[in-house]
Structure 1
Amino acid sequence: MDAVITSFAKRSEENKRRDLERPTQEEAEAAVRTLLLWAGDDPDREGLLETPARVAKAYQEMFAGYGMDPDEVLGRTFEEVAGYDDIVLVKDIAFHSHCEHHMVPIIGKAHVAYLPDGRVLGLSKIARVVDIYAQRLQTQEAMTAQIAGAIDDALQPRGVAVMIEAEHMCMAMRGIRKQGSTTLTTTFTGAFLDDVQEQGRFMSMLRGSGAA
């Protein structure tokens, strides 16, 4: 029942995002001009004349995840696996995201594993799902859970394990200004949650790669 409620809540949140009325390109550029003025610079000087348009275009790229559906990406699975039912791990998936509190970068790596139950995903699909959630305003905790939940819903494997390690520029560039510190988050479902040996195997595989 908890899985059904979580899946329904996820779909409801996705639908809300799709219903939002986005500003026009001109309105977005005007907002950037306002920020430039607020920062203390002149948006009409030569070096900044094209900045509003460039920033609007950059935002379209950096936040492209809002226009993508993880369920569609994960929709195709494969059953011809010759009986393979052990851990599938894709590690060191590099990503760039943005903190939803300060809108500054989060830079890190995701490690994603699952235990198949008769079906597997194309390996590139896992990396694409990481990018979909990374290319939104995020907290690392939420992103970790969202990746695990999307794979769990689409594939219904025996378990999913996700670890994210990242540096947050909101700590490095402002506030406490501690460069080089990293944050680790994990989410486990199914067998990875219930069986400490499976968790241990996942962590051991990451340590063997120097990831954790």
Structure 2
Amino acid sequence: MPYKKLEEYNMQVTNEVKDRYKTIIEELGEDTQREGLLKTPERAAKAMQFLTQGYDMDPAEILKGAMFAEDYDDMVIVKDIELYSLCEHHILPFFGKAHIAYIPNGHIVGLSKLPRIVDVFSRRLQVQERLTHDILECINDTLKPKGVAVVIEAS
């Protein structure tokens, strides 16, 4: 059986963004009918949807789906969470690592959910400062821990 890549994109959005990319490429002086560029506007439209898919996700629901009542009050730390985002000022990538620590207050969360919420907020047009704040506030508002800290090291 041949390889089949499964992708789900809003085709209306894809087509509208594709047309805009085609115009941008043409206005930069390129020939969009050149073989190497024939499918570039569509690929760019799909890539942008992938890179900004965090707008369609609710990070609090991700945490709530793995919250457990637990009488544990030692600090929980997850370090070196890879992140990739787009700077909202120039729509250029920035990447790095996030470190999250919290002190439970009656509830813990599955450790794999912390990297997932980093990814959700990273998949939006961002600035590093707001990304840090958004992650912290989501954990604070959802888990209501005794304390939470988020540090991001990115370039």
Question: What TM-score results when the alignment is normalised by the length of structure 1?
Answer: 0.65
Post-superposition offset of 1:26: 1.8
Say if 2:14 and 2:46, in contact at 8 Å, map to a contact too: no
With CA pairs under 8 Å and 6+ residues apart, which has the higher RCO, 1 or 2? 2
Q: Is 1:153 paired with 2:153?
A: no
In 1, the alpha carbon distance for the partners of 2:35 and 2:152 equals 41
Output the amino acid matched with 1:149. E
In 2, the alpha carbon distance for the partners of 1:59 and 1:102 equals 14
Q: Is 1:25 paired with 2:14?
A: yes
Alpha-carbon RMSD = 1.4
Identity over the aligned pairs, expressed in percent?
Answer: 50
Post-superposition offset of 1:147: 0.2
Q: Is 1:48 paired with 2:17?
A: no
Q: Secondary structure of 1:123's partner?
A: coil
Structure 1 residue runs of 4 or more that deviate by more than 4 Å after TM superposition? none
In 1, the alpha carbon distance for the partners of 2:47 and 2:14 equals 12
In structure 1, which of residues 73, 78, 81 is the aligned counterpart of residue 68 of structure 2? 78
- Name 1:140's counterpart in structure 2: 128
In structure 2, which of residues 85, 90, 104 is the aligned counterpart of residue 102 of structure 1? 90
Where does 1:89-128 land on structure 2 (aligned, <5 Å)?
89-128=77-116
What does the per-residue CA deviation read over 1:82-113, in whole Å, with 9 as the maximum and x for residues that have no partner? Answer: x4211100000001100000000011100011
What does the per-residue CA deviation read over 1:6-31, in whole Å, with 9 as the maximum and x for residues that have no partner? Answer: xxxxxxxxxxxxxxxxx632211110
Q: Is 1:36 paired with 2:5?
A: no
Post-superposition offset of 1:40: 2.0
Say if 2:81 and 2:115, in contact at 8 Å, map to a contact too: yes
Q: Secondary structure of 1:93's partner?
A: strand
Output the amino acid matched with 1:102. H
Q: Secondary structure of 1:113's partner?
A: strand
What does the per-residue CA deviation read over 1:101-132, in whole Å, with 9 as the maximum and x for residues that have no partner? Answer: 00000111000110001110111111100000
Post-superposition offset of 1:75: 1.0
Q: Secondary structure of 1:108's partner?
A: strand
Post-superposition offset of 1:38: 2.3
